[in-house]
Amino acid sequence: MAQIKHSPGLTLQFLSVLITGLALMLWIQTVDAQSCNGLSHHFYYKSCPKAQAIIKSVVEDAVRKEARMAASLLRLHFHDCFVKGCDGSILLDDTSSFTGEKTANPNKNSVRGFGVVDQIKCELEKACPGVVSCADILAVAARDSVGFSGGPFWKVLLGRRDSRSASKSGANNDIPGPNSTHQTLETKFKRQGLNVVDLVALSGAHTIGLARCSSFKARLYNQTVNGKPDPTLDTTYLKQLRAVCPQTGTDDNQTTPLDPVTPIKFDIDYYDNVVAGKGLLASDEILYSTKGSRTVGLVESYSTSTHAFFKQFAASMIKMGNINPLTGSHGEIRKNCRRMN
């Protein structure tokens, strides 16, 4: 029987086709995974083709007027998704017969940007009445806020619907606090289907924005109830923070930048600060001070590579934005983000 000889060229061509086929299969699986929860990049292409442009325009104007607003809108999306999923529940106002999430401890006198969301919704209702959800507004506004601050871009999966309920207890229990232990942070992220990589990457959102003295004051004076400051704090930074937040006789609502180096620029200085003992919140510094934890290496990695941080931050934001969305006939499309229809 004659032997069939294979030329090197044909072998390479066959391998190329095989690899391409495998890559296509993986891509299809990824698309299916992204679409299985009812979300799609193209959700409003026909029903409201200018939706993202409208959101972007309002966000751009708001951030131009007040750079801090970028962090505020990003935080709204985070606090929304960690309570019952990304369903716009954080936007609902309290009424005589309804208790929302705005007065929960992590949100009270803290979350902001509701006026910007109202403005976005107003413009969208003019263009496409009853089409774009408040939950999707938060997801796109968060992405655009990061972009206008110099951060990465990602395609937002759309099609979320708005909840007809809220959970104050969920907000109190599920949103990670500024003094959370390392284990608490991991547990609360895992509860949302997020892992340690997501924890460290999403914590990088603290590269922009401000924090109140009440969020970190204990670190400055009595971290372990022994009358001493947090030993992981850089001593020079400690003095600077004490000048902003004296132990007595000051308003604990006084704010200071989460990133004192580039407070309105989305970059890797947050991680540089944490490595140097200058993470503002205990929940920031603990990512690096917990020796032996995987978070230490991730902080070091992102502190030296903008590309690595931006790539993972975008991936983790997409993942977070997929937490338990309401789709199909579930929920509603609110006409006013502050109240149910």
For the stretch 226-280, pLDDT in tens is 789 999 999 999 999 999 999 987 788 899 999 999 999 999 999 999 999 999 9
* Residue numbering of the annotated binding site for Ca(2+): 80, 83, 85, 87, 89, 101, 207, 259, 262, 267
Residue 37: inside a domain: no
The two three-digit tokens of residue 105, written as one number: 């401890």
* Residue numbering of the annotated binding site: 80, 83, 85, 87, 89, 101, 176, 206-207, 259, 262, 267
pLDDT value at position 249? 76
Residue 88: inside a domain: yes
Other Cβ atoms less than 10 A from the Cβ of 12: the count is 10
Q: What is the pLDDT of residues 42-99, one digit of tens each?
A: 999 999 999 999 999 999 999 999 999 999 999 999 999 999 999 999 999 999 999 9
When divided into structural domains, the chain yields a total of 1
pLDDT value at position 53? 98
- The span from the CA of 339 to the CA of 341, in Å, is 6
Percent of the chain at pLDDT above 70?
Answer: 89
* Residue numbering of the annotated binding site for substrate: 176
Residue 56: inside a domain: yes
Residue 26: inside a domain: no
**DSSP H or E stretch at residue 256:** strand 255-257
Out of 41, 79, 307, 330, which one is annotated catalytic? 79
The CA-based dihedral angle spanning residues 244, 115, 268, 294, taken in that order and rounded to the nearest 10 degrees:
90
CATH number for the domain harbouring residue 287: 1.10.520.10
**Does residue 182 have an active-site annotation?**
no
Q: What is the pLDDT of residues 8-24, one digit of tens each?
A: 443 444 444 444 444 43
- pLDDT score of 34 more than 50: no
HSE of 36 in the Cβ direction (CA atoms, 13 Å)? 7
- The span from the CA of 7 to the CA of 75, in Å, is 58
Residue 252: inside a domain: no
Residue 13: inside a domain: no
Q: What is the pLDDT of residues 128-166, one digit of tens each?
A: 999 999 999 999 999 999 999 999 999 999 999 999 999
- The span from the CA of 309 to the CA of 84, in Å, is 27
Residue 16: inside a domain: no
- pLDDT score of 1 more than 70: no
Domain region containing 65: 50-209+258-322
CA quadruple 220, 222, 227, 230: dihedral sign: negative
- pLDDT score of 331 more than 70: yes
The two three-digit tokens of residue 280, written as one number: 């503002």
Residue 120: inside a domain: yes
